[in-house]
Structure 1
Amino acid sequence: MPTCRRKRVLLTEPSPVLLDALKHDPAREVFYLAETGEIFDHYEAYAARMSFYRLKQFQCEVTGKSGLDYFQALESERQEARTMHSRFPDQLKAAVLKAVQWQVMGRLDHLVEAVYDRFKDRYYPDEKVYVDIQGDKYLVRVIEVSAQGSAAPPQSPVPVASTSTASSPLSSDVPTPIHKVAEDLKIPVKDSIAIDDPVKYVYKVQVLEEEKQPGFARTAEKNKGKESGRGQWSGTFMDVKCAAMGRDRLAFSKSILRRFIRDCVDRDAAVASPWTVKPAIAARYGVSSVMPDDIRKGVETLKKGEIDKRKKVWEDKEGPAAKKRRQMAEEKAEREKAVAEQRQREERERVEQQLKAKEENDRLTDKKKKKPIRYPTEDLDVVLGDKERRAGMKVKRPAPSKLAMPCGDDPETNAHFLMSYNFLVVYGQPLHMSTFTMDDYEAALRHSAIEPRCQLLAEVHAALIYNLRTVPFNRHSAVMSLVALKEEEDMQSEVFGITIDDLTTAMADVGNNWERAPLRHSEGREGWEESLIGCLKDHATVENFPRLREILTRLLFAPEESQEPSGSAAPTPTTSPTPPRLTTPTAPSQLYHKLPHKDRIAVIAFMCNLAISSKAIHAHMEFCEEQLTALRKEKIEVNRTKKQQCACQPSLRILLTDRCPIKPRGHGALQGEHKFEINGDGDTIMRDSSDLSDAPGSENEQSRAPRRTAAKERELARAKASSVKQAVAEHRRLDEEVNKLERRLEGIEREFRKLLGAVRVKPIGRDRFYNRVWWYDGMGAASLIGSGGTVQYTTGRIFIQGASEFDRELLSRRDENIEQRRLVEEGPEGMLGSNDWAVYNDIEEVQEFMAWLNPKGVRELNLKNALTKWWNHIGPGMRRRAADLTANAKIPEARRSARKSAGTELMREPYMQWTNRKAVNGQ
């Protein structure tokens, strides 16, 4: 059952009105939620429940995945349950379920430990296990289990006349019950072994064929050309004991056993409630669902004992005279309650009289005070006043451009484009791909020349193909879905002149070896187009990829030569393009350059959606989670150290002030006085204003006393100057330490953004109308700072996405006319639908957008703070992109040399000069 905030989500029961209608009005129309089986009598309740299920706040209880909606979490649990049930041995299921039925244990872990200890050395007929024969593991099938006799060592097999996998005939038609003592968990483990020792069991097993052994293909390739003795055991029978046997850890382990028991049993929340097998599963595996009388009496005794124990503990806490004190306390509480009620009644009457008098006074004076608004507040409650307008705050937001999006005014294609680009850049490390800009990615998707080939396209497809080789797939799923589509249609339809039969025939011999075909970087990923066809054949269906048929037809069939457009002729802008008629089967490598960029984006987006479930991506996400935890701890330590360093600086300033007093100058200054000054370098200079000299002379004793006094003052002044100099040096050191800590905090913020982008991608904020603002730079494998501290960019733009359906529903619930307000503050050209995208390309537009944001609103305050925080990277990145676009713009030449080919000009484009420096050798 999916969980929400660590609590199980309970389904909504039908209301009493619906239950009553079932009896009196069976034909009443209701709202039915098919995924959960819930029934609602009003659409509002149905919509609210559906909105709740669509929130990304649910967690799969089995795998622990979070950030899912209810249906995704439910599907994840079902998928894990199907995987677990397919792996767990069927022969063990009934025995394990009979053992756990009616067991009273507080923790599931204790139950799993007890079951595992009982069944780890016990095996059942027809179960597939591993046997150790002369140091090698062989997969065998248990034919017969016997508790009599002694077993021959597995090194001495008994050969049979036939090597077929058919089981040998048993000695008796009536099966003998085995391992029955293990199913009773009330018997201790030691006693169960003494009664029914698993070591005494003898298992007759048959070694399976060599082709069915694990790692057969790898071993055969390794021993190719050499004689191997492994085949001599295939099909033979032998008698073994449990010491030489073992199960696959993917089929039977404590973790798998825990998941199986948790999926099959349940327990009430009452004290000392037993674990019970779910009724449907119990009926399937023959487990009794009726609690025996002796077990029921034992459970009731346990419950009573547990309740009495808790009651006794509670009474012991209260003390021996608790009952009497409790009665006295209750009587006192009743008296105090009566007195309090009387006081409340009197106070209520007094307050009501005061309120009536105040209301009358307010009505007469007409001076009602308005409650002041505390900012920040809800953004839509903030209205610009005359003061803000006079201060220059913008009323209308600068309109972002829809046509400047990479795919124009096509919301679905833009969403696929941005998703696929973000995926390829964020997961560049597990995909072994260097980063590239969004402009290069857009230009590569529009590359339409067969020569020279675009290396960026080849690397993107090769990286995804290598990744999808590790994702489970169904062989020929595309062909089967196309055949099913053909059976649903009444007539033989055509797409571009090609029927489904023609398409499946052309698909038969293309890309069949895609999961093993090498796509080497040193060879320019040659053959990736055929591997792409094979990948789509095994991963795609018409249901999960609706454009599958059209794309495969374009990649496998070419038009006739008479239909090919000539190089000089160009279609006139007034004629609308007609769909081509394809007839000639052709290799995909010769046709991919003709595929429209919209279909290319759809293919890459589909592959990215599949690749997100691969092991490499999951391992990278877990690594990023660990690094994020380490960064959080480091940030706490750095902030603590910075706070300590900053706390020391004020005391140093006071010390410098105290040790550098300003002495007055004048006629009354004493001789021998010294003044201290600090120069621009922080060094302390001592100036002596005395004219006395330490040289010996013939003065009398009265003149010697002032000289000795002046010498002492000089010594004190030198000591004071030395301490001041040390204080200045310490002040400088603390300043440098604080600066280093601040630079480290900035680095932590950049690293945090990179790692967080690999775990979950969130918008940088939302405006007052819930439009989402996206900035994709500096996430995943991309970096905001290059070598030498230069600013880098990958997109160099700010994207705006319309509000989601859920947010639009919140807008519609407000009393005011939101659409009219949007017309005023966004303009008709700036209003975006729920799936619309627009972009700010110029830095001046972004600055105007920031000026339009009102910090009195909660959402826009957070958005403005985020943009301000990263402005040192957003602004320079947009400027650098604008400079690169200007530098790469083609300037028309007055005279172009005829020897310059179109291919040479194309190779100068930035996207054609990109190279993958992270490519793995051998791939």
Structure 2
Amino acid sequence: MVLFKRKPVRFLPAAEIEDENAEVWHIPQTGEVFTSYDSYLDRMDFYKQRRFNDQITGHSGLTFFEALKSELAGGKEVEASFPEALKGPILRKVQFQTVSRLDNLVDQIYDEFKHDYYPGEEVTVTMKGGDRAHGLVRDKTTFGPRALPDGSHSLPTTRYLVDLKDSEEETIVTDEHICRDRGIFTKAMLRSFIKKTVTRDAWNGAPWLVKHDYASQYHIDTRVPPHLRYDTKVMERKQLQAQKRAHIYHETNGHDLTSALQSGPVRLPELKPAPKSKAKPGQHGSGSKGLKWPLNMPVHGGNPFSSSSDCGTQTPVQREPTPPPPPPPPPKYPIEDLQLEPRDDRKRPPLKFLCRNPPAKVENDDAIQDDFSDKINMESIGPLLETWDTLNVYCEVFKLDSFTFDDYVEALCVASEKVPIQLIDEIHCSVLKILVDSEADGGKVRISLPEVDEEHSEEEEEEEEDASALPTPEPEIKLGRRATRSSLAKAEAERLAAEAAAAEKESEEETKHRAEQLLEDYDWIEHLRKRDFVNGGWERILVGLLHQLSENERQHDVCEELLHLLVPAGVDATQETVKQRYAQLDVNQRVKVLQIICMLTTETKAMRGYMEDCSETMTTYRKERIEWQRQRKQAIEDLRQLNEQKKILLPDNMPPSPPKEEDGDVKMAEPDDSIMSREADGEETEDDPATRKRRRPLTAKQRKQEEEQALKKEKEKAAKITKTSKPPAQSKQFTKLLKDIQKKEDIIKKCEDEIAVIENDLREADCPRTRVLGKDRFWNRYYWFERNGMPYGGLPDSSTASADYANGLIWVQGPDELEREGYIDLPADLQEEYKAKFDMTVPERKAMEESNTSVFNAHQWGYISEPEHVDELIKWLDPRGFNELKLRKELLAFKEKIAKHMQSRKTYLSAEEENDKKEETQKRMSTRIRDKSPDTSNYRSLQWENTTALEELGHLHSDPPPPPRSRKQTRKREAVNDAPTPAPAAKTRRR
């Protein structure tokens, strides 16, 4: 079914028509009938919005009728391609499943049926000798687990009876020797089949239900179990909420909840509105909200049975004034961006423009802008970015080294016959190779080309030649019975008009391009198969391609324009002429050619196969990421438990407090004093003869005893220190705990590193479409082309990898036509309403907040190149708006990468500027080279070299493949090159 905002489109109920003769309007695709033309138009406007999705194929951005047509076609394709034998078992398995996400359901079903086969399936059987044979499953027998002698159970086994097609024999095999052919049962097919045959309600916990047509066809029970019904879920939810409210009520009112539960089910308090009665003078507040006193009781505490006269003597109470209504609640953010109040203190950083006709005049300090902006039209910026992004995202398909956007623009601007640039030749030749296979690969044309009616054109040429050879007869004037002057004048006027038309046609034919003369006896497809690119070969092939594409109405005008430039009428139609004319094209015309041929590559098998491989790789990466995230989650939980154990053991394992400085000084001083006293005593015994006479000299035995005592004391001190510093008895357990905590932290870090690597791999493999960073309040789109599909700095082994950036800019595209009309250029009444609210119109606010550097439509582009401007842009964005909340989040996620590669771009360009200045200085100092032609070696794009083609093909795309070597020459060279040395070309291939 067709989806709108991820929900099935609900058709309007049938209208009640009382008068059968009344005029009605009918929509045949939906069966809806309308009694008024306005309601019919409103419904058709709704259906013609490009906001519908095809549920089966997943295509989005379609009208309802396009989505319905696509869904019917996709449904027929699914019905035809999905194995008939698997439909019934899979639908029985899916019925009443409660897995919420379709992706998880597909994975679950696919894993279960991947190695399970059913009667009627075509399979491939691996025979005993290793040979493979095709067959048809006739019967399937499943055996349960068997009890083994050791008490364990074996795995269940399944045996299949298969009819072999070639030998017409039957064989019995297990699931180990049977498999399906590749592409018969895939996740994509299973997902489309489930989308077509199964539905699910939009409430939490809803089961998947097989549609009634398929349920009756495959005899599947459609009675929903009671526990899966919506009303059961609602009753459970209501009971749970009632129990919570009762619990809160009893807690707040002090009732004994346990006694209430024992006495019976909890009954909610009965709330009744206060009686609506007019208050009498003596009964103030009787009808007021929140009544707390009985109606017959005085407010000031009197007897309720006293007379009314007593009540009348009481002082009347003044009625309090009605409180003002509460202020409206603050808006719940986020809201629409333009509904936030303007702020003149913050402005978006100014944009720069890479063109000669910018929408606003700005001063650019960008080197590339100063050099080439006067050659580029604003209309060419979008195709420039589109072609550069295509060539770099799919550089592995084209076998091209990646290159920076600045080098690409420079190459397109400066390439000429005098300045040949390898980048231009390699781009054209590599893209043309994708369109047609080489002779060695079969020479198949991989794109759909319009047919050229050669016979018709030849007949027209022959007729024109015959007509030109014969003299042109004057038209005969058929005179009636009564010829008048007026009839003769009318016939003469018709003759003159015919002559003028013929002359105009002849002049048009004279100004026509000469592509047909260039392509006479030249089959461009055959030359493309042979890879005949040298000496103007690829330029001539390109003319043949453009000439054939001009038969297509959508591409006729642009192809004719380019053909007029490449093979004009007044120039000889030769291959050398075409080569010279192409070298004279400006950057805007070259971009048109590249855009045409790059768009053709999207139809090719190589491009689609690469995208499918990337899609499968991304699926594998996502599964790996889920596994690493699961391990990280488990490690975090284990770490939390270990930290709780650490808190318990920490008081008993606190490290000893460090000794105070005073105690430390005393301890350190004691042995020094003893040593000093000993040294002093020794000096006295040696130097003072009186002292030596008074003391008895020590014998050798006494000296030995003293040394042993001193050594014993030192050991006791060391043991005492060791005893005091020895950790408590639990320290081993605590040490082990600390080691376990460190291990878990290492595991968490490893998981996070792996997840980061997988996230980057996912980003690089995401190649089908360019991801936009987001939109701002004025619906401008922001692109950072390194966001997906390529490495941040280009291929690391590219010849210009030292630049360390790919595009290095944030590009800003203006709003499309619908967004501009719906949000910016509002009708006059809505502009006045907006001005009454914010004191300015939306265009005035746009001019004020965008620093007068605005882009106004989707064909206009500006860019931000300074790292500090990225911070200013983030500050300018208001996270209270829908658009800018998402854009700000993306910018914050990639802020560091964006700033880094912006700085790398500035460094790369400034280094080239410094080299240019040095060369200019040297030229001024030397007078001998003033009259020479300017040196072209300072162009950055000349440093690029297609090392990828050299490594994979052995030659450049624009060069012919090397001829095959004879066996004798090969043997001679092998004999000469016994000790191989690195080739000199290898030194220049990597920088």
TMscore range, shorter length: 0.5 to 0.7
Q: Match of 1:418?
A: 385
Partner Cα distance (2:785, 2:639) in 1: 35
Identity, in percent, stands at 19
Q: Match of 1:380?
A: 338
Contact preservation (8 Å) 1:477, 1:538: yes
Contact preservation (8 Å) 2:431, 2:597: yes
Partner Cα distance (1:740, 1:860) in 2: 34
Partner Cα distance (1:595, 1:267) in 2: 57
One of 520, 524, 545 as aligned partner of 1:512: 524
Determine helix, strand or coil for the equivalent of 2:873.
helix
One of 310, 315, 327 as aligned partner of 1:369: 327
Determine helix, strand or coil for the equivalent of 1:446.
helix
CA 1:726–1:369 in structure 2 vs 1: closer, same or farther (change >3 Å)?
Answer: same
One of 583, 587, 611 as aligned partner of 1:597: 587
One of 840, 844, 848 as aligned partner of 1:824: 848
Tell me, yes or no, if structure 1 residue 658 matches structure 2 residue 654.
yes
One of 518, 542, 549 as aligned partner of 2:552: 542
One of 697, 720, 735 as aligned partner of 1:713: 720
Partner Cα distance (1:314, 1:641) in 2: 31
Partner Cα distance (1:188, 1:665) in 2: 90
Shift of 1:4: 6.4
Contact preservation (8 Å) 2:611, 2:768: yes
Shift of 1:509: 3.9
CA 1:348–1:770 in structure 2 vs 1: closer, same or farther (change >3 Å)?
Answer: farther
CA 1:33–1:532 in structure 2 vs 1: closer, same or farther (change >3 Å)?
Answer: farther
CA 1:883–1:496 in structure 2 vs 1: closer, same or farther (change >3 Å)?
Answer: farther
The range that moved more, 758-767 or 64-73, is 64-73
Partner Cα distance (2:320, 2:782) in 1: 47
Contact preservation (8 Å) 1:558, 1:591: no
Q: Match of 1:477?
A: 451
Shift of 1:444: 2.1
Q: Match of 1:50?
A: 48
Determine helix, strand or coil for the equivalent of 2:947.
coil
Determine helix, strand or coil for the equivalent of 1:794.
coil
Q: What amino acid maps onto 2:48 in structure 1? A: M
Q: Match of 1:915?
A: 945
The TM-score, its normalising length taken from structure 2, stands at: 0.53
Partner Cα distance (2:818, 2:20) in 1: 33
Q: What amino acid maps onto 1:371 in structure 2? A: P
Partner Cα distance (2:870, 2:859) in 1: 21
Q: Count the aligned residue pairs.
A: 695
Tell me, yes or no, if structure 1 residue 771 matches structure 2 residue 769.
no
Shift of 1:836: 2.3
Q: Match of 1:459?
A: 426
Q: Which aligned pairs between 1:610-649 and structure 2 lie closer than 5 A?
A: 610-625=600-615, 626-627=617-618, 628-630=621-623, 632-633=625-626, 636=629, 639-640=632-633, 643=636
Determine helix, strand or coil for the equivalent of 1:777.
helix
Partner Cα distance (1:689, 1:654) in 2: 36
Partner Cα distance (1:908, 1:21) in 2: 85
Determine helix, strand or coil for the equivalent of 2:553.
coil
CA 1:21–1:453 in structure 2 vs 1: closer, same or farther (change >3 Å)?
Answer: farther
Q: Match of 1:879?
A: 903
Partner Cα distance (1:434, 1:661) in 2: 63
Partner Cα distance (2:864, 2:873) in 1: 9
Determine helix, strand or coil for the equivalent of 2:862.
strand
Contact preservation (8 Å) 2:410, 2:941: yes
CA 1:915–1:707 in structure 2 vs 1: closer, same or farther (change >3 Å)?
Answer: closer
The TM-score, its normalising length taken from structure 1, stands at: 0.57
Q: Match of 2:684?
A: none
Determine helix, strand or coil for the equivalent of 2:428.
helix
Q: What amino acid maps onto 1:777 in structure 2? A: E
- Cα deviation code 1:45-89 (max 9, x no counterpart): 4444333x356x54553xx6678776776776788799999x99x
Contact preservation (8 Å) 2:513, 2:568: no
CA 1:79–1:369 in structure 2 vs 1: closer, same or farther (change >3 Å)?
Answer: closer
Structure 2 residues without counterparts, runs of 5 or longer: 86-90, 95-108, 125-137, 141-162, 170-179, 201-208, 233-266, 278-284, 293-317, 359-368, 438-444, 462-500, 679-702, 835-840, 958-991
Q: Match of 1:804?
A: 816
Partner Cα distance (2:15, 2:948) in 1: 64
Contact preservation (8 Å) 1:542, 1:549: no
Determine helix, strand or coil for the equivalent of 2:812.
strand
Tell me, yes or no, if structure 1 residue 837 matches structure 2 residue 804.
no
Contact preservation (8 Å) 1:519, 1:525: no
- Cα deviation code 1:194-215 (max 9, x no counterpart): xxxxx9x9xxxxxxxxxxxxxx
Partner Cα distance (1:531, 1:473) in 2: 15
Q: Match of 1:573?
A: none
- Cα deviation code 1:422-465 (max 9, x no counterpart): 11111111221110011111122224522443221221122222
Contact preservation (8 Å) 2:417, 2:580: yes
Larger Rg: 2
Q: Match of 1:435?
A: 402
Shift of 1:880: 2.7
CA 1:306–1:188 in structure 2 vs 1: closer, same or farther (change >3 Å)?
Answer: same
Q: What amino acid maps onto 1:911 in structure 2? A: S
- Cα deviation code 1:702-744 (max 9, x no counterpart): 9999989754431135545999999999999998887777665
Partner Cα distance (1:15, 1:739) in 2: 62
Partner Cα distance (1:376, 1:81) in 2: 39
Q: What amino acid maps onto 1:459 in structure 2? A: E
Partner Cα distance (2:768, 2:408) in 1: 23
CA 1:704–1:777 in structure 2 vs 1: closer, same or farther (change >3 Å)?
Answer: closer
Shift of 1:615: 2.6
One of 539, 560, 567 as aligned partner of 1:529: 539
Structure 1 residues without counterparts, runs of 5 or longer: 89-95, 100-104, 121-186, 190-198, 202-239, 244-248, 277-298, 319-338, 562-581, 675-686
Determine helix, strand or coil for the equivalent of 1:591.
helix
Partner Cα distance (2:551, 2:541) in 1: 17
Q: What amino acid maps onto 1:432 in structure 2? A: K
Partner Cα distance (1:897, 1:665) in 2: 80
Q: What amino acid maps onto 1:854 in structure 2? A: D
Q: Match of 1:158?
A: none
Partner Cα distance (1:708, 1:414) in 2: 86
CA RMSD of aligned residues (A): 6.9
Q: Which aligned pairs between 1:256-405 and structure 2 lie closer than 5 A?
A: 343=271, 354=289, 365-366=323-324, 368-373=326-331, 377-383=335-341, 394-395=346-347, 397-401=349-353, 403=355
